[in-house]
Amino acid sequence: MRIGNGYDVHRLVPGDGMVIGGVHISCPYGIKAHSDGDVLIHALCDALLGAAGLGDIGRYFPDTDRQWQGADSRDFLRRVHEMLAEHGLRIVNADTTVVAQVPRLAPYVDAMRAALAADLGIHAAMINVKATTSERMGFIGREEGIAAHAVVLLESDK
């Protein structure tokens, strides 16, 4: 068994929507990022790579590479999933939390869970998505950014 954790944060800006956990959220905000800025998928990729001992998302999809400009982060997640399979690693379960003061994410968590499970080839019961606020404290509470945490457990085929 191997455990991994991931954390990511992105800047919140005025906009016309964002993608979190692979799900489009209609709101008067956007995410400032090189890729699509899917903070939840980035944290989840880092947790998976961390558990596998394979470094971090920046190693494979650097934000200095124009190839990844505006990239769909679900492509990152599917690629990370392939890398796990190549190393004989399977997901036991994953638990994630998105911390956002705005927009309100609770109505979207089931759709996020389904999207992430589909990209990882696992049953939705094996992944959990939670949404919370920061009680109006700090940069998240001031609506300057959104953060995400992920913890995963992997098991080896071997």
Secondary element (H or E) of residue 138: helix 138-141
C-beta separation of 10 from 145 below 8 A: yes
Q: Is residue 8 near Mg ion by the rule CB under 5 A?
A: yes
Cβ closer to Mg ion: 42 or 149?
A: 42
Cβ closer to Mg ion: 35 or 101?
A: 35
Q: Is residue 149 near Mg ion by the rule CB under 5 A?
A: no
Contacting Mg ion within 91-120 (CB under 5 A): none
Residue 154 CB, nearest approach to Mg ion (Å): 21
Q: Give the tokens for residue 121.
A: 């080839």
Binding mask 33-72 for Mg ion (x = CB under 5 A): ---------x------------------------------
- Per-residue b/e over 80-96, b at no fewer than 16 CB within 10 Å? bbeebeeeebebeebbb
Residue 147 CB, nearest approach to Mg ion (Å): 10
How far is the C-alpha of 154 from the C-alpha of 119, rounded, in Å?
Answer: 16
Cβ closer to Mg ion: 42 or 74?
A: 42
How far is the C-alpha of 109 from the C-alpha of 122, rounded, in Å?
Answer: 16
Q: Give the tokens for residue 72.
A: 């769909």
How far is the C-alpha of 114 from the C-alpha of 131, rounded, in Å?
Answer: 15
From 3-11, 15-23, 86-94, 124-132, span contacting Mg ion (CB under 5 A):
3-11
Interacting residues toward Mg ion by CB under 5 A: 8, 42
